[in-house]
Amino acid sequence: MSFVDYSVEPPVVEGKPPLSSIDDAIIKPIDAKPTKAWFVAIAVSGTMLLIGAASLAVTFIFGVGMWGVNQPVGWGFDIVNFVFWVGIGHAGTLISAILFLLRQRWRTGIARFAEAMTIFAVMCAGLFPLIHTGRPWLDGYLMPYPNQHGLWINFTSPLVWDVFAVSTYFTVSAIFWYVGLIPDFATLRDRTVSRIKKIVYSILSLGWRHSNRHWQHYEMAYLILAGFATPLVLSVHTIVSFDFAVSIIPGWHTTIFPPYFVAGAVFSGFAMVQNMLIGIRKIYAIEHIITIDHLEKMNKIMITTGMMVGYAYGMEFFIAWYSGNSAETFVFFNRALGPYAWAYWTMVICNVVFPQLFWFKKIRRSIPAMFVIGVLVNVGMWFERFVIVVTSLSRDYLPSSWGFYVPSIYDIGILIGSFGLFFTLLLLFVKSMPVVSISEVKGVVEGAQPSHGGSH
């Protein structure tokens, strides 16, 4: 498609497929036997997961000393991955909630999948705070209950905020996602002929009857959830950024972090969603439901957020210089010129330079190009967290206590493992649940609504 007319909103679902055909298109892959490609994929991701599990076991038995962390760099891959995955998660909520509120109808095709990604990403993220502790079997201490001496948790600690933020975020996203799934489960229930599936779907659908008396409340609930998810998603990454912003370490102690982190999160999240969708729509042959326009729109969001991030990078340096605080200034020069300069420049090139290509429509709409850029963006965003966490710690106030951080194989193993977990869950998801919201898509097919029923 060389020419696209942006003056008219393109149809969300291309053509005017009969509603039942939408069922077929979306549900076929669930009923059908898994393809060879799927088995290969699950084998790969499963292996990655096992690598992670092994590294994790070693860490659990011998201690976090198996990692590269040290004095002064007390946090390494663990927290880098945590922030990275939380960021990935944010795109899902953004698409399903914020775009919903903004009445972006094109979101319907990708919302369900994005939400699933959110949940799996948050699972991966939530793992790291739990395993990064020195005595993981005491993680329960982070819950708000008193120990045998009546000592409670410290509500002023950003880590406690994290606990609340991430668990809330996970719960709300899960609810949101499930509520969206209920009608689809009902549809599945009424389609399937296998007894087992019938039982399962019936339980999952809670006995949904497509009653319009229910639909009314249902839509209201969906709206409310979306309304809550929006500030929530912003708050979560704000709080994650507080882990650093609230501290006093130069390079961490920065007021720009909250917006900067949120932008970064959306940035990387969209890159990830875009990558995944490119695969899904091809495999499922649902290009008419997840259209090239959707992808293009996502690329536009990526270039926007990418520039926000770039602005933040610049601003950090400006403030460092403007503050006149020598320690502050030093840290940022150290980032660009110090021992970790390579990481810094990887970050800048991947996050700021490459997304600029999206100015060109051709590239915006070219599947391979956008895929590559998406991957680069994720690499860049991972390194952004690495730069923030590691370089700031490795050289802080006292030159006498400067150090250097080198990841161990277990660090890398666990990183791989987290991707393994993510992809495995994703693959299981696409095999067992509708990757596109059936009821929503039906709702936006042309002529699906009563002519006098007013439209949005």
Partner 1 sequence: MSRTEETRYWRSLRDLADHPEVAQLKSNEFLAGVTDESDVADLSPVSRRTFLALLSASAAFAAASCTNYRDKGEVVPYNKQPEEITIGKANYYASTCTGCSANCGILIKTREGRPVKVDGNPDHPVNAGKLCVRGQASVLDLYDPQRLRTPQFKGSGGGFAEGSWEEADRTIMSQLAKTAAEGKEIALVTHTVTSPTFRKVLDAFMARYPSSRTYSYELFSDRFRSNAWIRSYGSNGAPVIRWEAARTLLLLEADVLATEGDVLEQIRSITKNRDMNDPRHFSRIWVAEAGLSLTGMNADHRIRLKPGAQFEFVMGLIHEVAQRRKLSAISPETSVVEAIGQYPLAQVVARHRLPAHLVEGLVNGLVSHRGESIVFAGSTLPEEVHTAVILLNEVLGNTGLYDQRVSRVQYSSEATMEDWVLLVQKMREGKIGAIVHVDANPAYHLPQELRYAEAAQRVPAIVTLTQRENESSVISTIVLPINHAFESWGDFKTRTGQFSLQQPVIEPLYATRQKEAILLHWASGSTTQPDASSYHRYLKKRWEEEVYPSIKSPVAFSRFWHAALHDGLLLHSEKPIARGQFIINADWLQPLWRETDQFTVLVRPSQNVGDGRYAENGWLQEIPHPVSKVVWDNYAAVAPQTAKSLGVENNDIIDIRAGERRLQIPVFVQPGTAEDAVVIEHGYGRRTAGPVGTDVGFDVGSLMPVEIRSTPYIFSAAVTKGSGSYELVSTQEHHALDDAFVKDLHLKRKIIREGSVAQYLNTPDFIQKGRHEPESITKILEYDGVKWAMAIDLNKCIGCTACVASCVAENNIPVVGKEQVELGREMQWIRIDRYYSGTPEDPVVSNQPMLCQHCDHAPCENVCPVAATNHSPDGLNQMAYNRCVGTRYCSNNCPYKVRRFNFLDFRNDFADGIYAEEPMSALYNPEVTVRSRGVMEKCTFCIQRIMEARQVAAEEGREIRGSDVVTACQQACPADAIVFGDMNDPQSKVSHYRAHNLGYHVLEEINVRPNVTYMAKLRNRQTENPA
Partner 2 sequence: MQDARLYSLSAIFQTPDEIAHAAEQTVERGYTAFDVHSPYPLHGMPRAMGLKASKLGYVTLVFGLSGAALALFFMWWVNVIEYPLVIGGKPLFQLPAFIPVTFEVTVLMAAIFTVVGMLFVIFRFPNTSHQLHDTPYMKAVSSDKYGLTIQALDPLFDEERVREFLQDLGAVEIHRIQFDAEEIEARPRIFEPRFVTLLILVALLVGPSTYIILNHVLYMPPFDWMMEQQKINPQMKSELFADGFGMRSPVEGTVARGHLPYPFKGQPDLAGKFLVNPILPTESVLELGKKKYDTFCSPCHGNFGDGDSRLRGQFPNPPTLHSDKSRGWSDGMIFHVVTEGQNIMPSYASQIKERDRWAVVHYVRALLRAKHATEADLR
Q: Which three-class secondary structure state does DSSP give residue 407? A: coil
148 binds partner 2 (CB under 8 A): no
Q: Binds 360, which of partner 2, partner 1, none (CB < 5 to 8 A, cut-off by type)?
A: none
Q: How far is the CB of 342 from partner 1 (least distance, A)?
A: 17
Q: Is the distance from CB of 55 to CB of 414 less than 8 angstroms?
A: yes
Query: Which CB, 15 or 134, lies closer to partner 1?
Result: 134
**Could you give the CA distance from residue 348 to residue 317 in angstroms, rounded to a whole number?**
13
- Which 51-70 residues touch partner 2, going by CB under 8 A? 60-63
**Residue selected from 33, 248, 452, 455 as contacting partner 1 according to rule CB under 8 A:** 248
List all residues 6 or more positions away from 13 whose beta carbon is below 8 Å from its beta carbon.
22, 109, 288, 289, 441, 444, 445, 446
157 binds partner 1 (CB under 8 A): yes
Q: Is the distance from CB of 101 to CB of 95 less than 8 angstroms?
A: no
**Could you give the CA distance from residue 201 to residue 215 in angstroms, rounded to a whole number?**
19
Q: How far is the CB of 238 from partner 2 (least distance, A)?
A: 8
**Residue selected from 18, 134, 368, 447 as contacting partner 1 according to rule CB under 8 A:** 134
Q: Is 154 exposed, middle or buried (0-12, 13-18, 19+ CB in 10 A)?
A: exposed
CB under 8 A: which stretch of 158-166, 264-272, 282-290, 344-352 binds partner 2?
158-166
Query: Which CB, 164 or 311, lies closer to partner 2?
Result: 164
Query: Which CB, 125 or 226, lies closer to partner 1?
Result: 125
**Residue selected from 29, 68, 251, 434 as contacting partner 1 according to rule CB under 8 A:** 68
| Cα 367 from chain centroid (whole Å) | 21
Q: Is the distance from CB of 269 to CB of 92 less than 8 angstroms?
A: yes
Query: Which CB, 228 or 397, lies closer to partner 1?
Result: 397
**Residue selected from 16, 20, 323, 326 as contacting partner 2 according to rule CB under 8 A:** 20
Q: How far is the CB of 56 from partner 1 (least distance, A)?
A: 15
20 binds partner 1 (CB under 8 A): no
**Residue selected from 10, 38, 50, 70 as contacting partner 1 according to rule CB under 8 A:** 70
Query: Which CB, 167 or 401, lies closer to partner 1?
Result: 401
435 binds partner 1 (CB under 8 A): no
Q: Is the distance from CB of 175 to CB of 229 less than 8 angstroms?
A: no
CB under 8 A: which stretch of 172-180, 281-289, 332-340, 411-419 binds partner 2?
172-180
Q: Binds 105, which of partner 2, partner 1, none (CB < 5 to 8 A, cut-off by type)?
A: none
**Residue selected from 35, 47, 130, 219 as contacting partner 2 according to rule CB under 8 A:** 219
CB under 8 A: which stretch of 4-12, 18-26, 295-303, 365-373 binds partner 2?
18-26
| Cα 109 from chain centroid (whole Å) | 17
**Could you give the CA distance from residue 150 to residue 218 in angstroms, rounded to a whole number?**
44
C-alpha distances (whole Å) from 350 to each of 26, 268, 310, 380, 382 are: 35, 11, 10, 5, 10
179 binds partner 2 (CB under 8 A): yes
Nearest Cα to Cα of residue 275 among 358, 378, 415, 425? 378
**Residue selected from 215, 404, 446, 449 as contacting partner 1 according to rule CB under 8 A:** 404
**Could you give the CA distance from residue 205 to residue 437 in angstroms, rounded to a whole number?**
14
- Which 288-327 residues touch partner 1, going by CB under 8 A? 326-327
Query: Residue 17, preceding bond cis, omega within 30 degrees?
Result: no
Quote the DSSP letter at residue 141: G
H or E segment and range at residue 253: none
H or E segment and range at residue 348: helix 341-348
The residues binding partner 1 (CB under 8 A) are 62-66, 68-75, 129, 132-135, 138-139, 141-142, 147, 151-154, 156-160, 163, 195, 198, 202, 243, 246-249, 326-327, 330, 333, 337-338, 393, 396-404
